[in-house]
Amino acid sequence: MTQRFTGTENYVATDDLKVAVNAAVTLRRPLLVKGEPGTGKTVLAHEIAKAIGAPLIEWGVKSTTKAQQGLYEYDAVARLRDGQLGDERVHDISNYIRKGKLWEAFTSPELPVLLIDEIDKADIEFPNDLLQELDRMEFDVYETGERIAARERPIVVITSNNEKELPDAFLRRCFFHYIKFPDDETMRAIIDVHFPDIQKRLVTQALEIFYELRGVPGLKKKPSTSELLDWLKLLLVEDTPVEVLQNRDPTKAIPPLHGALLKNEADVMLLERLAFMARRENR
Amino acid sequence: MLLNFLDELRGAGIRASLKEHLTLLEALDSDVIERRPEDFYYLARATYVKDEGLLDRFDEVFHKVFHGVFSDLGEDQATIPEEWLRAVTEKFLSDEERAAIEQLGDWDEIMETLKKRLEEQEGRHEGGNKWIGTGGTSPFGHSGYNPAGVRIGGESRNRRAIKVWEKREFANLDSSKELGTRNIKVALRRLRRFAREGAADELDLDATIRGTAKQGWLDIRMRPERHNAVKLLLFLDVGGSMDDHAKATEELFSAATSEFKNMEFFYFHNCLYESVWKDNSRRWSERIPTWDILHKYGHDYKIVFVGDAAMSPYEIAWPGGSVEHMNEEAGEVWLQRVVDTYPAVAWLNPNAQRGWQYTQSTQMIRQIMSDRMFPLTLDGLDDAMRSLTRKQG
């Protein structure tokens, strides 16, 4: 490996994250990243690709995704149709084989970064089905008898939201990193990276409101880093004066432009109720 | 040293294997990290730990194994009581602490006592109330309860620790208890009810053949895959007398979480009242009204209570009988509401079955449950699952 990953100008990486990324990049083992939604798991893969100047191949996993789809798909129905229509293409089976993302990554002319996003969304057997392929970085195409092997082991980043437990055998092959929610200091660094000229006081006030909001018990969906960044962007665009954030009285618990922070009408209701109670106490 | 580390990790329940170990060696060999203890810690963590719930345990083991290595004294604690003495002389004391020490006598006196203790004591030692060590109530040692305590060796637990692994930032994630849950999972398997729900992505061969024969052209029929469609609400009694059964309950809980997709759990204390909670550390601030649960979850949910049902009869029968708060309606009213709403209810009792008849409250609850109380054993679990799947009249 020519260079070490040290975060980029757009991404603040903590020390432990750097070590995990460098280990995964050097040894070419998959890096499994877990963490609360919105802490920058997916962005990490983008940034690694950017940092080492490699193309990024994204494979977004859904609940219906099968491991085979990552390798290749054989479109038997299309071939059957062509057979009925007497199309010439029907004689070559490889016409009906569609390459998957893994295939793409293995045969990419440049060393790519392969992102397998939200692996826990898929069926519980999904990771097991990819064991061999990720371990040996090769697979067979049964229809043509071809063997697809990676020219160079791609850098694989896998993200998980922890909806399902991953099998042991799969985990053993990965490096693991848990992105914990950034503390105040890291958060400031992150904001600095995204909004370099934002007023210091605005950030202080906004962060205060943000952490307070995260601390409200009973919120269905706690706002996370990506929501904070969106909110700050809105505050900037709207040119909100610091005073608006500062002069908060407890009877108005809802922060300005709260739509960016709270994504659940029940949460907004909860805050309104809290504000109502605060008003009643003041009376 | 590293093999020893692997053993310790496995001993602490982190299922690291030779595979991870070799990976770590390979990484060290290819100079992934700079030679700094912190980097080594991060690398080892990324290699061995695959579950954020185990990070805290990893920190503990790491601290234990590499404690002597990374501190400037490269020897085992037990063999160098001088280190403790040295720590005493270096120790930091505020004025208040100094004043507190006066309680025991003056400084020299403490040192004198300390020396005597050291002579009596043979090894390093934790807990207890006389010997020097950590975590005890003796005035000697560290992290103790005695306000006149002298800090000897180790890091204070109240102070910001110097090394990352001593911070143990992940302390409250450790909840997984995967100990012999396989048997329980097998028993829970009885509660499977397969149903086809969701996206149609499986070829229904029979229907396709039938359709093709009927239509005269290829008529592909798809159907959804089979999933375990059982829905379960788990109510867990926590605290008090249930502490004795924490292990069994945790095993059951852990097995149930992995077995059922549609499972919700709630905690209560002793008896069910107007609200329950999902997080024990926030049991007073984040309560969920029992009415909400009754309204939210359809009657096709199956209800399982886990509790020892051992309490004062007042706690069940009388309004205001709860030990913790003023309940406006009696526990039995709430239990009855649950039984009336959901046809499939079972109560799992970790206490041995032969003792049930001697506890009045157990009898009362058993009656409310229409005799559907089962012991928390494999057989009992089996019976309970059978009862839950039975067609309710």
Answer with the one of A179, A196, A217 that is the final residue of a domain: A179
Domain assignment of residue A5, yes or no: no
Collapse the DSSP code of B391 into the 3-class scheme (helix H, G, I; strand E, B; otherwise coil) and give the result.
Answer: coil
Q: Are residues A33 and A171 in the same domain?
A: yes
A240 plus A218 within the same structural domain: yes
Q: What is B140-152 written as a DSSP string? A: BSBS-S-TT-B--
Whether pLDDT at B310 is above 70: yes
pLDDT in tens, B295-305: 888 888 889 89
Same domain flag for B283 and B245: yes
In angstroms, rounded to a whole number, what is the distance separating the alpha carbons of residues B184 and A147?
Answer: 43
Lowest mean pLDDT among A174-183, A235-244, B209-218, B374-383: A235-244
In the structure, what pLDDT confidence band is assigned to residue B156 with cuts at 50, 70 and 90?
Answer: very low
Residue of A nearest to B42 (CA): A16
Residue after which a domain boundary falls, among A118, A145, A179: A179
**Which residue is listed with tokens 């949910």?**
B301
Q: Which of B187, B211, B227 is the endpoint of a domain?
A: B227
Of B23, B43, B55, the CB nearest to A29: B23
Per CB-CB distance under 8 Å, the chain A contacts of B15 are 168
Same domain for B320 and B206: no
* Distance to chain B for A83, nearest Cα, Å: 13
Q: How confident is the model at residue B28 (pLDDT cuts 50, 70, 90)?
A: confident
- Domain carrying residue A76: 15-179
Mutate to test the interface with B, among A5, A6, A19, A155 (most CBs of B within 10 A): A19
- Same domain for A208 and A156, yes or no, is no
Which one has a higher pLDDT value, A99 or B226?
Answer: A99
Q: Are residues B245 and B205 in the same domain?
A: no
- Beta-carbon separation of A166 and B50 below 8 A: yes
A154 and A74 in a single domain? The answer is: yes
CB contact under 8 A, A178 and B26: no
Token digits of residue B354? 């032969």
Quote the pLDDT of residue A58. 92
- For residues A170 and A125, is the Cβ–Cβ distance under 8 A? no
Report whether pLDDT(B179) > 80: no
Q: Is B269 within the bounds of a domain?
A: yes
d(CA B224, CA B226): 7
Give the model's pLDDT for residue A116: 92
pLDDT at A234: 80
pLDDT (tens place) for every residue of chain A, 283 residues total: 445 777 777 788 888 888 888 888 888 889 999 887 778 888 888 888 888 888 999 999 888 888 888 899 988 888 888 888 888 888 888 888 999 999 999 988 888 999 999 888 887 778 888 888 888 888 999 888 888 888 888 999 999 887 667 777 888 888 888 888 888 888 888 888 887 777 777 777 788 888 878 877 777 778 888 888 888 888 777 777 777 676 665 555 567 777 777 777 777 777 777 777 777 766 5
Q: Which residue, of A179, A203, A235, is where some domain finishes?
A: A179
**pLDDT value at B147 more than 60:** no
Here the tokens at position B332 are: 């039995």
Q: How far apart are CA B313 and CA B315, in angstroms?
A: 5
Instruction: Say if residue A119 is in the same domain as residue A238.
Output: no
Q: How many helices (H) and strands (E) does chain A have?
A: 13, 9
Domain total of chain B: 2
CATH number at residue A112: 3.40.50.300
Number of domains in chain A: 2
Collect all residues of chain A within an 8 Å Cβ-Cβ radius of residue B58.
none
Q: Which residue has the higher pLDDT, B293 or A275?
A: B293
Distance CA A12, CA A27 (A): 23
> Do B340 and B286 belong together in one domain?
yes
Q: H or E segment at A98? A: strand A97-99
The nearest alpha carbon in chain A to B26 belongs to A27
Same domain? For B275 and B239 the reply is: yes
Q: Give the pLDDT score at A57.
A: 93
Which residues in B lie closer than 8 A to residue A119 (C-beta atoms)?
Answer: none
Q: Are residues B212 and B235 in the same domain?
A: no
Q: Say yes or no: A113 and A56 in one domain.
A: yes
Q: Across-strand partners of B375?
A: B349
Residue B343, domain extent = 230-389
CB pairs under 8 A between A and B: 74
State chain B's mean pLDDT as an integer.
71
Identify all chain B residues contacting A177, using CB atoms and an 8 Å cutoff: 46
- Alpha-carbon gap: B120 to the closest alpha carbon of chain A (Å): 44
Q: Is B286 found in the same domain as B373?
A: yes
Domain-located, residue A10: no
Same domain, A192 and A153: no
Would the CB atoms of B33 and A180 count as touching at under 8 Å? no
| Burial letters B223-257, b for 16+ CB under 10 A, else e | eeeebeebbbbbbbbbeeebeebeebbbbbbbbbe
CB B347 within 8 A of CB B341: no
Task: Answer yes or no: is B267 within a domain.
Answer: yes
Tally helices (H) and strands (E) across chain B.
Answer: 16, 9
Percent of chain B with pLDDT over 90: 0
Alpha helices by DSSP H, listed for A148-247, are 168-172, 184-194, 200-215, 225-237, 242-246
ipTM: 0.70
The per-residue DSSP string of B221-238 comes to -EEEEEEE--EEEEEEE-
pLDDT over 60 (residue B138): no
Residues A121 and A261 in one domain: no
Same domain, B261 and B384: yes
Alpha-carbon distance B87 to B68, whole Å? 15
**Residue B235 sits in the same domain as residue B380:** yes
State the pLDDT confidence band at B212, using cuts at 50, 70 and 90: confident
- Least confident piece of the model among A158-172, B69-83, B108-122, B271-285: B69-83
Do B384 and B245 sit in the same domain of this protein?
yes
The answer to whether position B214 is within a domain reads yes
Q: Residue B101: pLDDT band by 50, 70, 90 thresholds? A: low
Interface test with B, best of A178, A183, A220, A269 (most B CBs within 10 A): A178
Residue A108 lies in a domain: yes
